[in-house]
Chain A
């Protein structure tokens, strides 16, 4: 690990730990939501940025995690912690299934299939209102007996850091190297003895599990699980965070999550238009700074400020 990386991590963590003692309840809420997006965007980046599988089903898997845990706790009285675990497993299994279905496809076909899957999940959840309460939303219990925003903040922080560490280790391991090889040239990777199908499936399953975990936590924090979680609007927000922050870099999606979530609090009054703004920013970034904010930052530090 580079010394600058360690320095940034330590500084970031220290700030994160003392932060809740200075923030209002409102900004603490914004931080918790940002940490949810850190989990989502980082794992989506692992899938799209490192193995080139641009999936639109990531928010759907968060929905699977949220609804699995939510319904288990509401109807069977299962503890939310166990529910979240079962949600992770459900998301992983569904991810594996969808991964198998998509494995012969690449590029746009994979994207379209996952888009279709995502809509199927949302439609099922919206229509099966006996179980899910449809668009009304399912009221779920919280993680703590006594509500504590600070408690939620530290849970979200711990999980986000743990996910970050695992992803960091993974992309700097031989697995990460094979993922990049698959992204660079699948035929050459295969001719070099890499089981490219395994690499892609593992990435699909693992990142789906993380989305399930993020969704499960999110549901028990909001204590109201709605079809907004597995919606495409949510998906595009995650995508915008990864793209604007910088796809294919470790820090990119983390930076993107905080920047966009905090920014969206300021332009919330514009209603639906704030998603439009993010879309335009993402487009501009994709055109002029394809490596995102992180790419701009790294280029600047190297001393040549242009990007192309």
Chain B
């Protein structure tokens, strides 16, 4: 398995706050990598740097051997990186089907016929469990459905890598189970590599091949899930240092 995406010494500051501080990371082709860390660790900022919403102050990100420097978000998406948003951003005044179609239009432009796109969009909605919502406005569906819709829209762009930002927040146990299945399915059936941020520890530990831990802008640890949960630095980042 080759390296799909790699970041070296990524730093990004906002005013006096260094949100991401000298982070090195990589994701291999076909991997499911979890990105965890307490609130404010810089996880979402890292996503925004990868997808071109911000550009890093220093450091460089390469994707499939090409640098992402200076590329706009839509160009990065067309290279094969799709994402969902922590605070969901579906197109509220459009139907769910139209939301998914936008991903297909972004990827295929005018190269395919509208009818062909609609067929593909329906197929993606089927897989993500949204088929029954086709004609509903995105503003009228539940938060959980909105999160799924973002996954569907991201899948529609035909990505090689998908960045999922807390898609499981607010889900109950069985829904978490379903979401985990969906993530594995995306990797196995669509051959999409996954980097995901999650606070639901059970799910991220069970589903990820590897976990990267961030705290206060820095990467403090990475490794197999069971090694990560046993690591003293990770426990301290989450629970604080012991006084003894």
Contact = CB atoms under 8 A, between A and B. Distances in A.
A192 interface: yes
Contacts of B101: 174, 177
Given A190-B72, A192-B157, A193-B74, A180 B93 contact: yes
Contact of B102 (A173, A178, A187): A178
Contacts of A191: 51, 53, 73-74, 77, 82-83, 85
Given A195-B74, A196-B74, A174 B105 contact: yes
Interface residues of B, number: 30
A167 interface: no
A169 to B, nearest CB: 12
A187 B78 CA distance: 15
A167 B103 CA distance: 23
A189 interface: yes
B229 interface: no
A178 B94 CA distance: 11
A184 B90 CA distance: 8
A221 B63 CA distance: 59
Given A181-B94, A184-B91, A185-B91, A192 B85 contact: no
B94 A192 contact: no
B107 interface: yes
Contacts of A180: 91, 93-94, 98
Determine the interface band of chain A, counting residues with CB < 8 A from chain B. 10 to 19
Given A192-B102, A193-B106, A187 B89 contact: yes
A194 B75 CA distance: 9
A237 B17 CA distance: 49
A194 B85 contact: no
A178 B93 CA distance: 13
Interface in B152-169: 153-154, 156-157
A178 B105 CA distance: 8
Of the listed residues B51, B98, B105, B156, the one surrounded by the most CB atoms of chain A closer than 10 A to its CB is B105
Interface of A: 173-174, 177-178, 180-181, 184-185, 187-196
Contacts of B156: 192
B103 A192 contact: yes
B53 A187 contact: yes
Given A177-B98, A193-B74, A193-B78, A188 B105 contact: no
Contacts of B117: 174
B74 A177 contact: no
Interface string B61-97: 0000000000011100110001101000111111000
Contacts of A173: 114
Contacts of A188: 85, 89-91, 153
B73 A190 contact: yes
Given A177-B98, A177-B102, 19 more contacts: A173-B114, A174-B105, A177-B105, A178-B105, A184-B91, A185-B91, A187-B53, A187-B73, A189-B102, A190-B77, A191-B82, A192-B74, A192-B77, A192-B102, A192-B154, A193-B107, A194-B74, A194-B102, A195-B74
Nearest to B112: A174
Contacts of B82: 191-192
A194 B89 contact: no
Contacts of A181: 91, 94, 102
Nearest to A248: B93
Interface string B97-135: 010011101110010001001000000000000000000
B74 A190 contact: yes
A187 B102 CA distance: 13
Contact of B157 (A177, A185, A187, A193): A193
A47 B30 CA distance: 43
Contacts of A178: 102, 105
Contacts of B74: 190-196
A-B CB proximity, top 3 nearest = A193-B106, A184-B91, A193-B77
Contact of A174 (B73, B92, B93, B110): B110
Of the listed residues B78, B91, B117, the one surrounded by the most CB atoms of chain A closer than 10 A to its CB is B91
